Amino acid sequence: MRYGLEHPVVNDADFKIWDAYAVRAYPTQVLIDPNGYIVGDFIGEGHSAEIDKAIAETVSEFRKKGQLNEQPLKFALEKAKVGNLPLAFPGKVLADEKSKRLFVSDSNHNRIVVTDFAGRLIETIGNGKEALIDGNFETASFNRPQGLFLDGENLYVADTENHAVRRVNLQTKTVETISGNGKQAAWRSVGGNAKTSELSSPWDLAKVGNALFVAMVGTHQVWKLDLEKNTVAPYAGTSAEARLDGAIDKSGFAQPSGIVSDGKSLFIADSESNIIRKIDLQKETVETLAGGDLYEFGDADGEGDDVRLQHPLGVTLYDGKVFIADTYNHKIKVLDASNKIVKTFLGTGKSGQTDGANAAFYEPGGISIASGKLFVADTNNHAIRVVDLKTKETSTLKIEGLKPPTEIQDHIENVSTNTAETKLESREVAANSNGSLAFNIKLPEGFHLNPSAPHRYEILVEDGKYKNY
C-alpha cells in the first residue's frame, strides 16, 4: 500500500519458496505452466525477451490443448481494509514550541497537514496530486513529502519523490521549489545551481545558519544547500553505501533518512546501516555513535557498537539526548551521545496501536518534541501519537475535520466496482439505558463472505459523541 503496489506480493520470510525452487540468487524468475510444472527459470536481470518468448510458447501450447484459463484474476486490495483514512502513511512530524503548531507530512496523500497540539485542524498544504507544482496551498502539489524544518514562517519540505526541496511561506500561503528540477540525480552527482541541479530522494532537513543540510537517501550522502548563494552540493559521503567514519569527503553512509542539529553537530539516522551518526560541523568529521552495520541489525540496548537498531528513520534532540525512531523495531529509543549508551524509551518491539503507559507502534518514521510531549509519526498506523515525556502515557491524536484529498477519496471509493448497497428500515431503540445493538446482516443474492478477502464497515452516529467513526 505504501508504495502503490497492487499486484500480489509474498513475504517469503522463512525461505520456504526460496528453498522449494532452489533459488540461489536474486532476482530469480520461475515460469510455471497451467499444470504447475516449471517451464524455465531465469537468474538475474535482463531476461525480458527470453521470458516473453517462453510465455508466448507456453500460452500457444496450452491454448491448443484447451487447458488455458484466460479469465482475468481479481484480487481484493489491501487498501480496501483501511478505506479513506484522514492520514495515509505520515512519514515525518514537526512540533513548534513557539506557535504550538504541529506540521505533519501526510506522505501518501502528497500534502502537509497543520494542526495545533490538540489536533484542531489549521490548514492543509497541497491538493493531493502527485506532481511538482508551485503556487498557493490549493494549487500546489507534492509527491511523497517527508522531512520538515521550520524557520520563522518558512517551512522547508523534503519533497522526496519529486527529488526537490520546497519552501512554504506560511504568511503568504504559497509554495515554491528552491532546489531540484524534478529529475533524479545520478549516483555521483556533483550538484551546482540549486534550482537546476538534480537531487535524489531527499528525506529530511536541518538548517544551520544559512545552510540547509539534506539527508539524501538516493545517493547515500548528506548534501548542503546554501540559501544565500542558491547552490547545492554533496557535503558528506562518497556515495558508497557503507559505514565509513572519518573526514566528510572520505565517509560513507547508507540511506541517511533522519537529520537534526544542535548548531554544532548533525545527528543522523543512517537507516540502512542501522546506526546513528554524528557530523562535527567544525572538524568536518563523521563518527558512528551507536548501532551495527549494513547486515548487522536487531533490537538490543547497550553501548556503541553493541547496540542493535533496525532501519531507524527519525531523530530529534531533547535535554541533551538523541531520541530515535527505531522504525522496524516499532520502538522509540534514547541515545546519550556523551557515553554512546542507548536505552529503549517506549514500544513493545511488536507492531500494534495500543495507547496508554505500555504503548505499541507500527514502524514509526518521524518524531518531534515540544511542550513536554513527544509527537510520533506512526507511519503504518496512519496516525500521530502523543507521548507524555514524564509519564510515558500515550494517546492517538484525533485531527478534527481532516479528510483525505478529494481526488484520492474518489479513487478509493471506486476501487471496487462490483458492489451492492442494501438499506434497511429504521428502528427505534430505547434511550438512556445500557444495552447492545446487534446487526444481523443478510448478504444480497450472489454475494458471500471470503475469509481471505478484507472486509470493511462504517458506522455513522449523526447525533452523538462520534461522527463518521
Domain encompassing residue 131: 83-406
Q: What confidence score (pLDDT) does residue 420 get?
A: 66
Strand 331-336 versus strand 383-388 pairing type: unpaired
Last residue of a domain, one of 391, 406, 421: 406
Q: Report d(CA 268, CA 246) in Å as an integer.
A: 15
- 112 and 205 share one domain: yes
Task: Concatenate the DSSP letters of all residues of 147-212 into one string.
Answer: EEEEETTEEEEEEGGGTEEEEEETTTTEEEEEE--SSBPPTT---EETTTS-B--EEEEEEETTEE
Q: Report d(CA 164, CA 177) in Å as an integer.
A: 7
Whether residue 29 is contained in a domain is answered as yes
Output b/e per residue, 413-435; b: 16+ Cβ within 10 A.
Answer: eeeeeeeeeeeeeeeeeeeeeee
Q: Which three cell numbers stand for residue 386?
A: 502523543
Whether residue 452 is contained in a domain is answered as no
Residues of the chain whose pLDDT is less than 70? 81-83, 407-420, 451-469
Q: What confidence score (pLDDT) does residue 458 get?
A: 63
**Contact call for residues 439 and 429 (beta carbons, < 8 A):** no
Last residue of a domain, one of 38, 73, 108: 73
202-253 pLDDT, tens digit per residue, is 999 999 999 999 999 999 999 999 999 999 999 999 999 999 999 999 999 9
- 118 and 195 share one domain: yes
Q: How many H helices and E strands in the chain? A: 4, 30
Residue 327's CB is within 10 A of a number of other CB atoms, namely: 25
- 211 and 62 share one domain: no
- 61 and 110 share one domain: no
- 53 and 182 share one domain: no
Element (H, E) at 407: helix 406-413
Residue 123's CB is within 10 A of a number of other CB atoms, namely: 11
Whether residue 429 is contained in a domain is answered as no
Element (H, E) at 17: helix 16-20
- 154 and 40 share one domain: no
Whether residue 421 is contained in a domain is answered as no
- 99 and 60 share one domain: no
- 108 and 6 share one domain: no
Last residue of a domain, one of 35, 51, 73: 73
